[in-house]
Amino acid sequence: MSDKSNLLIDIKDLRVEFDVRAGVVKAVDGLNFDIRRGQTMGVIGESGCGKSMTARAILQMVPKPGKITNGSIEYYRPIMKDGTVEKVDVVVINKLDPDGEIIRQIRGGEIGMIFQEPMSSLTPVYTAGTHIVEAVSLHRLTPVKKIGDQMVENLQAHRKLTKQEAREMAIDMLQKVGIPKPAQRVDSYPHELSGGQRQRVMVAVALSCQPFMLIADEPTTALDVSIEAQILDLMRGLQESVGMAIMFITHNLGVIAEMAEEITVMYMGKQVERAKTVDLFYAAKHPYTQALLKSIPKVGKKTSERLASIEGMVPDPFNLPPGCVYHPRCPSYMPGKCDRIAPTTQKVGEDHMVSCLLYEEV
């Protein structure tokens, strides 16, 4: 925010809209967001809040009929020479052709991605067919190919390597992500691996090109805690060694507390709060953030207390409430204010932004 020198991604007033028969869904609604080099930015929020759509917009992969209707996504593309950043090119991602040469170099090569297992990732706004096409076009694992071949292809596509070199690198990456007997496993098909192993292979694929940034969309949601711990340690280790930035999308607050330096909280396509992780957990300002933090059960001393829950539900995206979109569920709702005036982002502390009328003079 204050320090612009290390910027990697700068998103300004981004809007992503889906024009469907029943109306227009604003999946991302005026989002401002940035990520610096080597930083881990956590993004939290309930399903449908637009966190995954933001990730897709960065890769110019918004599924149809979705469109980026406003704003800009600037990618400060580092040009490397002898292991150091020689200069930085500014690429406006949303102006690029989604099938063009440049975005294909960036996607998967300079910005890697890990998506969650498809278990709960189907969005009702588009068809199953789209999901499948998209899954194939993303570096998702194809069931009919050996994982080694898929890793080799990805490596060859983004780095000038011979097939043999790429294969050795693939084995090396499998070793790093903790797959037992990597030299044999490289010839396995995805169905021969367990869920945790598949996810680790996905991590290996994403990291094998040593991207500047990794977008991890719920990378551990479908995994057991023991495997999750391994994957998180692995991501952190690799981040330290190669200095990559991570955009970590999750709704698991325990995971985010451990991984992120800074957290953005989203609700209905908007950023409601952004702060350093410690500030967010200890001094959350927005009532939505406060409620989210209180609604998770904590391990340790057992209390008979009920969990605090957020009343009501996420509003109908076709029929958003006026004013602040959170006001129908908000315990600090101020009648006559919150239902009329949309809050703007206010600075409430160092690197701490919140958009709530409680912190705004109107």
Q: Summarize as ranges the residues that interact with another protein (CB under 8 A).
A: 46-47, 120, 180, 194-197, 224-230, 232-233, 251-255, 257-258, 277-278, 281, 291-293, 295-302, 306-310, 313-314
H or E element: which one contains 86? strand 84-92
Q: Minimum distance between the CB of residue 46 and another protein, rounded to whole angstroms?
A: 4
3 state DSSP class of 102: helix
Which structure tokens are listed for 202? 């996905």
Q: Minimum distance between the CB of residue 66 and another protein, rounded to whole angstroms?
A: 21
Q: Minimum distance between the CB of residue 335 and another protein, rounded to whole angstroms?
A: 23
Between 6 and 277, name the residue whose CB sits nearer to another protein.
277
What distance in Å separates the CA atoms of residue 145 and residue 239, rounded to the nearest whole number? Answer: 29
What distance in Å separates the CA atoms of residue 69 and residue 83, rounded to the nearest whole number? Answer: 37
Which amino acid is present at 227?
Answer: I
Q: Minimum distance between the CB of residue 353 and another protein, rounded to whole angstroms?
A: 18
Q: Minimum distance between the CB of residue 96 and another protein, rounded to whole angstroms?
A: 33
Q: Strand 84-92 and strand 66-81: pairing? A: antiparallel
Helix axes 195-208, 147-158, angle to 10 degrees: 20
Between 87 and 301, name the residue whose CB sits nearer to another protein.
301
Q: Minimum distance between the CB of residue 111 and another protein, rounded to whole angstroms?
A: 25
The DSSP annotation for 142-176 comes to PTTS-HHHHHHHHHHHHS---HHHHHHHHHHHHHH
Between 89 and 316, name the residue whose CB sits nearer to another protein.
316
3 state DSSP class of 278: helix
Between 166 and 265, name the residue whose CB sits nearer to another protein.
265
Between 161 and 229, name the residue whose CB sits nearer to another protein.
229
Residues 6+ apart with CB under 8 A from 180: none
User: Tokens 């950023």 — which residue?
Assistant: 271
323's torsion region: left (phi>0), alpha (psi -120 to 50) or beta?
Answer: left
Between 9 and 253, name the residue whose CB sits nearer to another protein.
253
